[in-house]
Amino acid sequence: MTDRRTLKRHLRKEALARRDALDPFWRVEVALEMAETAEEHIDFVPGQIVSGFWPMRSEVDVRPLMFALREKGARLCLPAILDKTTIVFRELVRGAALVEMGFGTAGPSEEAPVLDPSIMLIPLAAFDKRGHRIGYGAGYYDRAISRLTQNGHAPRLVGIAFNCQEVPEVPDETHDVILPEIITESGLRRFGS
């Protein structure tokens, strides 16, 4: 187990270094292209709930993508960190104030309703050709997805990353959530069956 965690830390560090080295202006252009990809490939019934995330550091800026989905009728929400192990998803509405969530992210305040997303846009540090993901190490998304599933929800999981974050193979751990789809600058990539 320790060897897997050590390898994950190493893969995470390398992938994030590659991501950090990307030109910031190029990242803006790619974020707009990814919004077009999402608009084309993520279908839903107007009113369905989509969780996005407030970008931190050199992550893909998914705000254009979230805006495109809102224009198609999605209700949006962002993760809110409750404690060291738990996130919930609070509704994001136009004009509502955002508050600091930690880790350089922002989200709706405690007054915003908590929603259960049917589509989740998921940040990640690294991924492989099987759809296995390495997050940032805290396990927030793995636990949130598990909780949603246990409560009878089966959200569509769509990872968001740059191609440079792909690694040869992510070591498997039992608690890991495998992503069936990831949007990169190359388009929508589907994994598994």
| Digit-coded pLDDT (tens) for 41-61 | 999 999 999 999 999 899 999
> pLDDT at residue 1 above 60?
no
72 labelled binding-site residue: no
70 is in an annotated binding site: no
Q: Is 135 annotated as a binding residue?
A: yes
Residue 59 annotated as lining a ligand binding site: yes
39 annotated ligand binder: no
Q: Is 12 annotated as a binding residue?
A: yes
pTM beyond 0.85:
yes
75 is in an annotated binding site: no
**136 is an annotated ligand-binding site residue:** yes
The predicted structure's pLDDT at residue 99? 86
List the one residue out of 110, 51, 94, 46 whose CA is nearest residue 76.
51
On whether 133 is known to bind a ligand per the annotation, the reply is yes
pLDDT at 193 over 70: no
Query: Torsion angle, CA of 104/22/136/81, rounded to 10 degrees?
Result: 30
At residue 169, the pLDDT reads 95
The pLDDT value given to residue 96: 84
pLDDT band of residue 22 (cuts 50, 70, 90) is very high
Give percent of the chain with pLDDT exceeding 70: 98
Find out whether 27 and 37 touch, Cβ atoms under 8 Å. no
Q: Is 137 annotated as a binding residue?
A: yes
| Residues 124/140, Cβ–Cβ less than 8 Å | no
Q: What pLDDT score does 2 carry?
A: 61
* Mean pLDDT, rounded, of the chain: 92
Establish whether 134 is an annotated binding residue: yes
User: Using CA atoms in the order 190, 147, 35, 54, what is the torsion angle rounded to 10 degrees?
Assistant: -140
Angle of CA points 89, 185, 105, to nearest 5°: 30
Q: What is the pLDDT of residues 62-120, one digit of tens each?
A: 999 999 999 999 999 999 988 888 899 999 998 888 888 877 788 898 999 999 999 99
Structural domains present in the chain = 2-190 (3.40.50.10420)
**Per-residue pLDDT at 66:** 96
Residue 154 has pLDDT above 80, yes or no: yes
Q: Is 90 within any annotated ligand binding site?
A: no
